[in-house]
Amino acid sequence: MAQVLEFKLPDLGEGLTEAEIVRWLVEVGDVVAIDQPVVEVETAKAMVEVPCPYGGVVTARFGEEGTELPVGAPLLTVAVGAPEGMETSGPVTPGPSGARNGSAPSGSSSPSSSSGSSATEYSGGSGNVLVGYGTGAPAGRRRRIRPDRLDRTPALSGALTVEVPVPETPVSAAPVSEAPGVPVPAASSTAAPGSVAPVSDGPVPVVSPLVRRLARQHDIDLRRLAGSGPEGLILRADVDCAIRRAEETEAASTRTAEAAAAPTGASPAAASPAASAAPAAERIPLRGVRGAVADKLSRSRTEIPDATCWVDADATELMAVRAAMNAATGPSAGPKVSVLALLARICTAALARFPELNSTVDTEAREIVRLPGVHLGFAAQTERGLVVPVVRDAHTRNAESIGAEIARLTELARTGKLSPAQLTGGTFTLNNYGVFGVDGSTPIINHPEAAMLGVGRIMPKPWVHQGELAVRQVVQLSLTFDHRVCDGETAGGFLRYVADCVEQPAVLLRTL
């Protein structure tokens, strides 16, 4: 007999609570193998292909491409264990409750009734463990999922269906509830999304901070909304409906006012172009990479008392050294070394002299935490937005090794295949905004780091060299630092050392 198992969006790690469906890799009716990728999702940090821990026939998919799902929400259902060669005898369709007719005796638990059970009750389960699901050791400590996120999943239950082989009667497959036996609220007792409720003086039934923030941004009074969630819980869908209704009301009021202001003798046909002349503003959701960047930069500006200092440096000698490195032949030849790799190596040498800038601030303990190793982040602009891959243990690498790692991570960033682990854990960031053709900038610190070095474009400029005016390759360097971890003397010393190494690369020989 076929057993229908539900696969939920797993915990993708790094504190991520949701993901957006970018592309389905399977269709309803497809046969999938254990650990076969079934969907490509985009988190706030990376694009991830999610493998399914079950093998069988896909019976339902939850959510279309572009839909945002919380961790723990159903992704798809898979019928496993059906005898081969059996003719189709009935459709598999989502039912109103978590039980499956004919799939288990009354009172038995569903395959996903407890954490991790869906992966262990089926003997053919995955042996490849992704964070948050799979087989093997008992599940570790899991984050608590916000109720409002899970309550959004029924809205996605308009899943596709497929017929699967069954021996006798049709099997009814529905999204499995987190706790079997808990009654599902009847449709008649749930308010329509965004409906108006009488104003109450009691607490507003909202769990999600995101819902509160969305309502606050659009001046929506949550006390006037009737929630469509369990026990009147206000969900994001309710706020979205209220926003749309407010926009429609405002647009109707605008049209009425324009019609009243039009000349009496004007015909409706003459007034119509004036009413539609002003185009509507485009609204772009802040989510995915752009949303994560917005949150991090806003937090940096809010929490960190930053200051910036800058200096112009003559990079002529550095460019000559790089050209000599890349032109070497014979035993001394090697991979090409980029300017960014040389600047990264200079940064690690400078951080060894000024470790105050390789630190972070523990605001709760009111302590400065100096970090033992340098994990160097570098800003990279991609089609999906700005990302900051991290070169691990940069203080142990030479310029050639750093350059090779930067090239590898840049390629992964370009194709959208960076993992969350490759985008987190940095202790200092190098930002080469010179590639955009600009000279200077005041970088925003990558929270929770303590400093960021910005590098402008290297270009020929008039410069006094050895007492004479000459055309030299000049670059502007800027350092933004957290004033809590050090004073201007330390920051100035760091920046001056970096500039000295740029102007006289032989200075680095002291640390080799």
Active-site residues, by number, are 483
71 burial level (CB within 10 Å; 0-12, 13-18, 19+)? buried
The C-alpha angle with vertex 391 and arms to 458 and 503, in degrees rounded to 5, equals 30
**Contact of 59 with 4, CB cutoff 8 Å:** yes
Compute the distance between CA of residue 258 and CA of residue 87 in angstroms, rounded to an integer. Answer: 65
E strand intervals along 379-499: 380-382, 385-387, 390-391, 428-432, 451-455, 459-465, 468-482
Cα(351)–Cα(375) distance, integer angstroms: 11
Six token digits for residue 212: 């509160």
Q: How far is CA 490 from CA 28, 81, 96, in A?
A: 61, 67, 65
Helix, strand and coil percent figures for the chain, each rounded to 5: 30, 25, 45
68-70 and 18-24 strand pairing: antiparallel
318 neighbors 503 (Cβ within 8 angstroms): yes
> Which helix (H) or strand (E) is 397 found in, with range?
none
Contact 20, 68 (CB under 8 A): yes
Strand ordering across the sheet containing 31-32: 3-8, 74-80, 56-61, 31-32
d(CA 148, CA 156): 14
Tokens of 493: 């010393």
| Residue 48 φ then ψ, to 5° | -135, 135
55 closest CA partner among 123, 129, 125: 125
Contact call for residues 292 and 447 (beta carbons, < 8 A): no
Strand partners, 162: 92
Go through the chain and tell me how many residues it has: 512
User: Phi and psi (nearest 5°) for 152?
Assistant: -75, -20
